[in-house]
């Protein structure tokens, strides 16, 4: 069974949109996404430098747009629910995953993420904060060191990687005294995402998300909060969950840790055998190769990967909308 996963912030690179503009239909989608976001995504995806697209208000809409551009180019008119059984997104990638699952239209996903990005950028500007990856070390010791420095484990990614977030002083203290057998690597992000520092962004985003038209998921959609499939949450909902729950959890994730480790465990539980990471791909398939033994992966980075993606789909397509594992 195939899963489609969507990368998060930090996966963007300068010029990443340029090769896609030669793919049929892409220029029109870029124009539609630019209108939905109020940003010139074509210019940012082709001409803007690394510093410009590091800006949260630009990076998040650009990444979600890139994922959905790749998805539609690969599927070439096919319905995602007819080839994939599950989907998930890392942090901002949850908005793209919601579109993959049919909860949001592509344009609504880009529009909504633009609101999220703007509010998170404002929250980040209110107080100097940051994030650092902690790679290696004993997991319990890593979490203890993060807490000791007054920080939060903003991303628990699996494969020996945790991202710490919080004050710059706390990050400096963690780097000065890292956990045993671990490296602390500063990340080029603008603030302490997925921590209480983002509360003002949550306050602004939650009512906007709740008011957005949405449909119930049409495949297994996993939540970053705990790896749970929305169809397994308590309460009345469709087979794969309720749209209102998806939008509420996506909003709450602004201040809550990303548990990608639990998402990967859930992918194994539901029987995933192939993992397709949409553009700008690479990070999530890298984690999968270390933590999902036996799962075949393809990362989509440019149009040259479209055929490999289609081949992966041909080998692994078995959507849960048609088959449910025992």
> Can you spell out the DSSP letters for 58-85?
HHHHHHHHHHHHHHHHHHTT--GGGT-S
Q: Where in the sequence numbering do the catalytic residues fall?
A: 91, 194
> ∠ CA(5), CA(111), CA(313), 5° rounding?
25
Peptide linkage before 119 cis (omega within 30 of 0)? no
* For range 149-154, the mean pLDDT: 97
Quick one: pLDDT at residue 315?
96
Does position 323 have pLDDT exceeding 80, yes or no? Answer: no
pLDDT of residue 322: 45
In tens, the pLDDT along 201-234 reads 999 999 999 999 999 999 999 999 999 999 998 7
Q: Would you tell me the crossing angle of helices 283-291 and 260-269 to the nearest 10 degrees?
A: 60
Helix (H) / strand (E) element for 183: namely strand 182-186
Of 31, 122, 82, 313, which is closest to residue 219 (Cα–Cα)?
Answer: 82
Residue 265 Ramachandran class (φ > 0 left, ψ -120 to 50 alpha, else beta): alpha
DSSP characters for 298-326?
Answer: EE--SGGGHHHHHHHHHHH---TTT----
Mean pLDDT of the chain: 94
Domains and CATH numbers, the chain: 2-124+196-316 (3.40.366.10), 127-186 (3.30.70.250)
Pick from 157, 181, 177: which is nearest to 90 by CA? 157
């Amino acid at each position: 069974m195939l899963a489609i996963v969507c990368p998060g912030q930090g996966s963007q690179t300068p010029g990443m949109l340029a090769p896609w503009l030669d793919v049929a239909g892409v220029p029109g989608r870029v124009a539609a996404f630019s209108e939905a976001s109020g940003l010139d995504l074509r210019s940012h995806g082709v001409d803007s430098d690394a510093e410009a697209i590091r800006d949260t208000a630009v990076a998040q809409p650009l990444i979600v747009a890139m994922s959905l551009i790749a998805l539609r180019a690969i599927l070439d008119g096919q319905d995602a629910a007819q080839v994939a059984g599950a989907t998930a997104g890392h942090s901002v990638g949850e908005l793209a995953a919601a579109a993959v699952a049919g909860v949001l239209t592509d344009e609504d996903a880009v529009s909504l993420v633009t609101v999220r990005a703007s509010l998170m950028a404002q929250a980040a500007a209110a107080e100097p904060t940051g994030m650092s990856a902690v790679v290696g070390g004993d997991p319990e010791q890593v979490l203890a060191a993060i807490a000791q420095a007054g920080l939060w484990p903003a991303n628990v990614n699996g494969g020996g990687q945790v991202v710490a977030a919080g004050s710059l002083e706390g990050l400096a203290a963690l780097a000065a005294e890292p956990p045993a057998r671990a490296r602390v690597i500063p990340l080029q992000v603008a603030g302490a995402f997925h921590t209480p520092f983002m509360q003002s962004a949550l306050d602004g985003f939650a009512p906007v998300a709740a008011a957005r038209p949405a449909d119930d998921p049409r495949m297994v959609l996993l939540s970053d909060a705990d790896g749970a499939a929305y169809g397994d949450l308590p309460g009345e909902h469709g087979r794969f969950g309720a749209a209102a729950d998806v939008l509420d959890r996506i909003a709450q994730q602004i201040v809550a840790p990303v548990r990608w480790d639990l998402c990967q465990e859930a992918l194994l539980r539901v029987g995933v055998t192939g993992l397709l990471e949409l553009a700008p791909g690479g990070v999530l398939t890298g984690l999968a190769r270390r933590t999902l033994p036996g799962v075949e992966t393809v990362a989509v980075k440019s149009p040259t990967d479209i055929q490999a993606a289609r081949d992966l789909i041909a080998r692994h397509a078995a959507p849960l909308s048609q088959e449910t594992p025992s």
